[in-house]
Amino acid sequence: MSHTDQGTRVPPEPHPANGANGSVVLGHAEIQRALTRIAHEIVERNKGVADVVLLGIPSRGVPLARRLAERLATIEPAGAPVGSLDVTMYRDDLRSHPTRAIGRTDVPGTGIDGKVVVLVDDVLYSGRTIRAALDALSDLGRPRAVQLAALVDRGHRELPIRADFVGKNLPTAHTERVRVRLTETDGEDAVLIESGEGTR
Ligand SMILES: O=P(O)(O)OC[C@H]1O[C@H](OP(=O)(O)OP(=O)(O)O)[C@H](O)[C@@H]1O
Ligand SMILES: O=c1cc[nH]c(=O)[nH]1
Sheet holding 52-56: strands in order across?
82-84, 52-56, 116-124, 145-153, 165-169
User: Is 168 a domain residue?
Assistant: yes
Q: Is the CB of 123 under 6 A from ligand 2?
A: yes
Query: How far away, in angstroms, is 126 Cα from ligand 1 center?
Result: 9
Q: Which of 57, 92, 125 is the best mutation target for the ligand 1 pocket, counting ligand atoms within 8 Å of the beta carbon and taking the most?
A: 125
Q: Closest by alpha carbon to 106, among 62, 50, 72?
A: 62
- pLDDT class of 8 with cuts at 50, 70, 90: low
Total domains in the fold of the chain? 1
Query: How far away, in angstroms, is 129 Cα from ligand 1 center?
Result: 6
The average pLDDT across 29-41 equals 98
User: Is 56 a domain residue?
Assistant: yes
Query: How far away, in angstroms, is 153 Cα from ligand 1 center?
Result: 12
Q: What is the CATH number of the domain that holds 46?
A: 3.40.50.2020
Strand 13-14 versus strand 82-84 pairing type: unpaired
User: Is 3 a domain residue?
Assistant: no
pLDDT number for residue 46? 98
Q: Residues 26, 27, 28, CA angle at the centre, nearest 5°?
A: 130
pLDDT number for residue 52? 98
Least reliable range by pLDDT among 10-14, 49-53, 133-137: 10-14
DSSP reduced 3-state for 99: coil
Atom 21 of ligand 1, residue of closest alpha carbon: 123
Give the separation between CA 4 and CA 6, rounded to whole angstroms.
6
The average pLDDT across 37-46 equals 98
Q: Is the CB of 38 under 6 A from ligand 1?
A: no
Residue 90 has phi, psi (to 5 degrees) of: -105, 5
User: Is 195 a domain residue?
Assistant: no
Residue 92 has phi, psi (to 5 degrees) of: -90, 0
User: Is 153 a domain residue?
Assistant: yes
Query: How far away, in angstroms, is 2 Cα from ligand 1 center?
Result: 21
User: Is 44 a domain residue?
Assistant: yes
Q: What domain range includes position 148?
A: 37-173
CB atoms inside a 10 Å sphere around CB 200? 9
89-141 pLDDT per residue, tens = 999 998 888 678 899 999 999 999 999 999 999 999 999 999 999 999 999 99
Alpha carbons within 13 angstroms on the beta-carbon side of residue 174 total 4
Question: Is it the case that residue 178 has pLDDT exceeding 60?
Answer: yes
CB atoms inside a 10 Å sphere around CB 139? 9
